[in-house]
Structure 1
């Protein structure tokens, strides 16, 4: 029987979810030692295949930087693994002897992993590791433009897990990628939670599915260079971050904000390190190819400054790493005030750090609220002011934002799912880890005595004191009474009146 492609993709989605459900039921009974052995084997397999998967991702998507995708794969395989390997995720995970509460980990079940084209293989490695560490199964829905490399990464992780003792089907991935199949997974009764990384529309669909979900909002990271900053180091951080995998990490910088007093130094340093400041006409040309009426043009995602310049028809010096366009405001009239997943930055000059603070706030309120902000400064008072006032959940200091946000150059949890909290429409403000994929059962012992209100003369006390003596036991030869003791009407009336008096009812 021949099936239409969309129908066969729906059937594949159902089959993968059912198989994952059966596998997860068995996997839920595994001990911590068994789980840890499987996760370690997955990490090792991902390390061994990091370069091959990176090459496949670049070849298929036609964007990004091979070496940087290798770094992302290794970070997911090693950095994430090192962070999670000693976590307790099975059995008793915590005991509070003082309050006599014992916490017991339970998996959430089967997870649906939505994978973006910008990080197709590293996201699979990361989500597979955190899902199985918490004894869940996972089924992936790839982006259509990265379906082959996503499927290959899932295969690598699944084979390693099964070889180490995991049930068959514990990791699944759609090979027939359609919107119908993705929707089928989202609505499937066999899916318990959605882990969504991707465009705003896909994340919104995950939250609208009726399933519990962890999703992320768009990043629009302002990078503020304050007067006390080490300017050369700040510029090197921004360029390294923005060019890492050609700007495809959502935590990468999108706009530079500088104080007027250091503008000339900052501009000179950017030019020295490979930044090209476009004039008004060049900026307009670049903006026309960066955005369409629907949003960012997919054709420029993950492209180098040289490629973007060629597409826009402008000439730039050899060795240019980033294109920079000065902006006078924020909003639709100023396109570079929005997220750009490529090597282009907006540039703002403000009178002082107070005005810079307001500019950063405006950028975040336009897009990227809840996500990330980076500040380059040696003034702790200014840093504290930004930390207290800015509506983001990752305030990064003196570090490349793309790498700091995911936990590569900071002490944040290594993660490729960066929550934006309720401000950004996310259910968490954290970098998502295995601990977000657990249900916690609590065994609680009584530690306080309960004193009922009737022992202090409350309504129940009146009933208790007025209760009649029990009926006498039947004599030999008498039938036992099956009805309860009889109370005279006058006695009932006394009880009712006493209760009403205690309650001050007239």
Structure 2
């Protein structure tokens, strides 16, 4: 029966890919005005359905925070739409009268969107919007633990798009979530590009499919509180970020690095704002619960509250505790909580100065966050600039990392796919937008005539075919003489 189910799922993948291809060929002929009307209707539908989709996501995945998932759905609808609505993605993009070059947008085709369980409905809304804005169709492959809510979000987007004039099938979603179906979509001839958000294995599979792909890596984000920081605000930002949807956004902080002169002040402020500091035995207990023996995270603890984690670890914590903090003396395999933890647990380090913070942050990033994000809280602009050299593509200053990284509290492009560049194994270092989902044609006019004699000059210093024939003849003659001599 399992084999039969795989075959059925493969057929479904083929069907939605073909349907999306046919729909995209129609959409490709639409005017910019018509596509903009469709995208506006989709954004409005995402916002209108934000609450019940959020509830469905929490109920199905069993993690996260309902109110924060509502916020993410609205962000994916409203903030993303406001950023892309006037973006030029159809027809002539620009003309350069001096160089006589015209740039014209061309849709990629059909996008395959891989959706994670951490942000299922918001990522679906976001990817649908940016794909259609760029003139593409999109078909979704959900995480098995978020299949129903992802399909529901895709249906909301599809119904709104079709009602506004889009062709039927422009947005599709697998209902039978098998690895066989996902692999079939990745390889299908009608899929032009893969937009992958999920675990490292899935992202690597996308890049190995032979298709162009955008994928994102893990984000083991260090947060440095420098001695000139507004400590109260810095702590508030970090806790807000790490507790937002219980820490499931990959840009959320994973370790606090504190400048030694303000250590006591930071600890006192963390405790005042609901943090609980674990002792050595409690760190070991939480490590066993949150992390696996191989160094990865226990999936059952993703997006769980501090109370749930403490209870699983057999620890009593005060009522109202928002975050668990593990003071660590090192990093790497002997310190499991120094790795990425998509939940309400933070590592905690003390350093002598910003130089040591630089060194430590690099080591933490090497554990799995190279290319992603780093956050610093400081009032010293010169120190902030020093961290531009860090091996990440988002250096966030005085802002909650999770919300700043996705462009909610910063001027970065609003996005739920954050590239990590070549350092992190990604094909882009950007927050992905519709501009990543178009091809650009260039029409170039002649500016100058080729000078007379160009062809002859280009051959100067080169052997002709006659020259080569003469050399070969001479060599053969010499060999023949030696043979007969």
Instruction: Output the TM-score relative to the length of structure 2.
Output: 0.93
**Equivalent residue, structure 2, for 1:64:** 64
CA distance in 1, matches of 2:428, 2:193: 14
Q: Measured at CA, do residues 428 and 460 of structure 1 come closer, stay the same or move farther in structure 2, by a change above 3 Å?
A: closer
Structure 1 residue 394 displacement after superposition: 0.2
The match for 1:346 is 347
Q: Which has the larger radius of gyration?
A: 1
Instruction: Name the structure 2 match of 1:493.
Output: none
Q: What are the superposed Cα offsets for residues 10-39 of structure 1, whole Å, 9 maximum, x if unpaired?
A: 100000001001101111111100100000
Alignment of 1:242-257 (within 5 A): 242-257=242-257
Q: In the alignment, is residue 355 of structure 1 matched against residue 359 of structure 2? A: no
1:320 matched to 2:316: no
**Counterparts of 1:355 and 1:325, CA distance in 2:** 19
Per-residue CA deviation, residues 325-349 of structure 1 (Å, 9 max, x unaligned), is: 0111110111111000000000000
Aligned ranges for residues 280-359 of structure 1 at < 5 Å?
Answer: 280-294=280-294, 295-359=296-360
What does residue 37 of structure 1 align with? 37
Whole-angstrom CA distance in 2 between matches of 1:377 and 1:138: 42
Residue 21 of structure 1 contacts residue 137 of structure 1 at CA under 8 Å; is this kept in 2? yes
The answer to whether the 8 Å contact 1:117/1:143 transfers is yes
**Displacement, 1:195?**
0.1
CA separation of 1:112 and 1:349: change in aligned 2, threshold 3 A: same
Q: Which residue number corresponds to residue 103 of structure 1?
A: 103
Alignment partner, residue 421 of structure 1:
421
Contact 2:291 2:337 in 1 (8 A): no
Q: CA deviation at 1:447?
A: 1.5
Aligned to 1:116: 116
- Separation of aligned partners in 2, 1:266 and 1:460: 72
Query: What value does the CA root-mean-square deviation take over the aligned residues?
Result: 1.7
Partner of 2:145: helix, strand, or coil?
A: helix
CA distance in 1, matches of 2:110, 2:276: 48
Deviation at 1:460, TM superposition (A): 8.4
C-alpha separation in 1, matches of 2:177 and 2:297:
23
Q: Per-residue CA shift, 1:434-470, capped at 9, x if unaligned?
A: 0000000001111233214459x84889xxxxxxxxx
**Aligned-pair CA distance for 1:293:** 3.1
Distance 1:358 1:152, change over 3 A: same
Q: Distance in 2 between matches of 1:382 and 1:297?
A: 36
Q: What whole-Å deviation, never above 9, does each CA across 1:263-300 have from its counterpart, x for those lacking one?
A: 00000000000011100000110000111135210110
Instruction: Assess, with a 3 A threshold, how the Cα gap between structure 1 residues 454 and 337 changes in structure 2: closer, same or farther.
Output: closer
Superposed displacement of residue 93, structure 1: 0.9
Equivalent residue number for residue 139 of structure 1: 139
Q: Secondary structure at the match of 1:268?
A: helix
Alpha-carbon distance between aligned partners in 2 of 1:5 and 1:75, rounded to the nearest angstrom: 36
Are 1:453 and 1:460, in contact at CA under 8 Å, matched by a contact in 2? no
Report if the CA contact (8 A) 2:310-2:317 is conserved. yes
Summarize the alignment of residues 219-234 of structure 1 with structure 2, pairs less than 5 Å apart. Answer: 219-234=219-234
Match for residue 383 of structure 2?
382
Decide whether aligned partners of structure 1 residues 444 and 232 sit closer, same or farther in structure 2, where only a CA change above 3 A counts. same
1:397 paired residue number:
397
1:73-222 aligned within 5 A: 73-222=73-222
Regions of 4+ moved over 2 Å: 452-455, 457-461
Residues 2, 147 of structure 1: CA spacing in aligned structure 2 closer, same or farther, 3 A cutoff? closer
Q: Which residue of 2 aligns with 1:364?
A: 365
